Amino acid sequence: MVSRVIPVDPFDLVIFGGTGDLARRKILPGLFRRYCSGQMPENARIIGAARSDMEAHDYAALAAEAIQEFGGGKACEDGTLEKFLTCLDYVTIDARGDRGWSELQARVAGKDRIEAFYFSVAPSLFGDLAERLQSHGMADSKARIVVEKPFGRDLASAQALNATLAKYFDEKQIYRIDHYLGKETVQNLMAVRFGNMLFEPLWNSQFVDHIQITVAETVGVGGRGEYYDKSGAMRDMVQNHLMQLLCLIAMEPPARFSPDAVRDEKLKVIRALDPVEPHHIVRGQYDADPDDPDAMPDYRTAVDNPRSKTESFLALKTHIANWRWAGTPFYLRTGKRLCARSSEISIVFKDTPHSIFGEEAGRHRNVLSIRLQPNEGITLGVTIKEPGPGGMRLIDVPLDMSFADALGPDGAEHVDAYERLIMDVIRGNQTLFMRGDEVEAAWAWTDPIIEGWTKRGDVPKPYDSHGAGPDTSTQLMRRDDREWREITP
């Protein structure tokens, strides 16, 4: 199967923070892949804007190195990289001062093309950038801004940030990135739910026993210790990524696949979330790897804060108080330094109302698993007869749809979330970006949970490196006569 690539209109993309880690690892290699695929017009311009003093040719060299190191994707024809590099330009800029702004204005002014400004800098600079774009005449109606996470650290700061951006830009011009929404399988979740007759009639508390969402990482905090310790799994993963996945699973069918129709439905889910009871929360901090404690120290050593109470693991149970989901628990789990890197959503259906095969056939439940990474794909566990003689014994087998197998090498071409989302910005499609009210509603649910454990002085439980998190996480499920799905690579 050959994928269809529709080229986007000519654009200028200014990457504030264009020399930073995110630009080098994701944005520049992603843009190059889109260039190779023919989606980026030849006359597009990418302007790096950052604090370092450098010329355009230095920036092109930095981009070439980043593309080589972090993957330019499928092999391009000879000379494509060189051609791509001619699209690059660079301006030294100070987000907090005057330096570089007139120069940037001169480069983007007066062109009849889409202007996108990617804020790939620390969130403390978002307001400065927005203000200076406006004072230098670049916040016109053609402009779009792309805002990276974290979007606030609580409701008050998210509201303040939304209010600042709203002074200079209309909501239709603001693209808040949650890169989980750019993943192929996440969009497939909507295709599976709303493109098939098979699932939607069963997609409610009458037929679904529970839903579990796991995002497990094998890495620790690495070099991000200082940032991470102020944030923790709740702010870094649950409030945004897991919340977005939960919304897509739980939302009502939107009337159409359009930005506000989808985001209205997601917002209703967040607003219907019940507060989380303290005994439905498990927090943990990873221990050192006993085999290599120097390279893989425990969490507190890694963040250089011996008294840290920040969680590197979080599991919780919540409910959605509406007609569709009343009584169906949603279990969320995420953590660092776990046994495998795996992101999976599982819809666990209820038992059949009566087993004609008797008690000895055991309990068998259909599970629809949507795997985001690695090996994107969807698996439906079905119960069949164990082959061979010896009576009616039942076993569960997977009906497996690995995208790589089903669609062939071209159909399953790897399109990274960032490159897809940047092209959506250029196309002006906000469907896969968070709206301001969604972000605020997510914080409104998150804040009391964090305040609760802070007031109680809860200390996260230690857990083994390369395991599945603290034992209390297993108990959270077992108390309800349920089990977490195994975390498999």
Instruction: Name the site residues for ligand NAD (rule: CB under 6 A).
Output: 17-23, 50-52, 93-96, 120-123, 125, 148-150
CA distances from 311 to 102, 173, 211, 428 (A): 44, 35, 23, 37
By beta-carbon proximity to ligand NAD, the closer residue of 228 and 484 is 228
Find the shortest distance in angstroms from Cβ 122 to ligand NAD.
5
CA dist list (Å): 149 to 22, 120, 209, 259: 11, 9, 33, 20
The reply, when asked if residue 412 is annotated as ligand binding, is no
Catalytic residue among 210, 241, 280, 319: 241
236 is in an annotated binding site: yes
Shortest distance, CB of residue 443 to ligand NAD, whole angstroms?
A: 16
By beta-carbon proximity to ligand NAD, the closer residue of 235 and 364 is 235
* Cα(48)–Cα(93) distance, integer angstroms: 9
* Amino acid letter, 199: F
**Tokens 């923790």 sit on residue:** 232
* Rounded (to 5) percent helix, strand, coil in the chain: 40, 20, 40
**Count of CB atoms within 10 A of residue 148's CB?**
21
Judged by CB, which is closer to ligand NAD: 30, or 329?
A: 30
Q: Are 341 and 374 in contact (CB under 8 A)?
A: yes
Nearest approach, Cβ of 32 to ligand NAD (angstroms)? 17
Q: Closest distance between ligand NAD and the C-beta of residue 258, in Å? A: 27
Residue placing its CB nearer to ligand NAD in the complex, 114 or 121 = 121
200 is in an annotated binding site: no
Is 385 within any annotated ligand binding site?
A: no
Q: Which is nearer to ligand NAD, 48 or 72 (CB)?
A: 48
The closest of 66, 102, 103 to 85, measured between CA atoms, is 66
C-beta atoms surrounding 346 within 10 Å: 19
Half-sphere exposure of 207 (CA within 13 A, CB side): 11
Query: Annotation-wise, does 478 bind a ligand?
Result: no
Per-residue DSSP letters for 92-106?
E--TTSSTTHHHHHH
The answer to whether residues 448 and 301 touch, using CB atoms and an 8 Å cutoff, is no
Do the beta carbons of residue 43 and residue 112 sit within 8 Å?
no
In the bound state with ligand NAD, the residue whose beta carbon lies nearer, of 24 and 317, is 24
Q: How is residue 450 written in tokens?
A: 């964090």
Q: Indicate the SS3 state at residue 216.
A: strand
Residue 332 Cβ, how far from ligand NAD at the closest point, in Å?
A: 20
374 cis-preceded (ω within 30 degrees of 0): yes
* Shortest separation between residue 187's beta carbon and ligand NAD, angstroms: 20
Instruction: Identify which of residues 45 and 241 has a Cβ nearer to ligand NAD in the complex.
Output: 241
Instruction: Judge whether 229 is annotated as a binding position.
Output: no
Per the DSSP assignment, residues forming a β-bridge with 91 are 49
The CB-nearest residue to ligand NAD is 20
H helical segments located in 113-242: 126-135, 155-168, 184-195, 225-229, 232-233
Q: Is 118 helix (H, G, I), strand (E, B) or coil?
A: strand
8 Å CB contact between 93 and 104: yes
Closest CB 3 distance from ligand NAD, rounded Å: 26
The verdict on whether residue 19 carries a ligand-binding annotation is yes
Q: Is residue 179 a known part of a binding site?
A: yes
CB atoms within 10 A of CB 172: 13
Residue 241 appears among annotated catalytic residues: yes
Residue 368 counted as an annotated binding residue: no
Check: CB of residue 437 under 8 Å from CB of residue 267. yes
What amino acid positions are annotated as catalytic residues?
Answer: 241
Residues tagged in the binding site annotation for substrate: 179, 183, 217, 236, 336
Binding residues, by number, are: 17-24, 51, 149, 179, 183, 217, 236, 336
Annotated binding site for NADP(+): 17-24, 51, 149
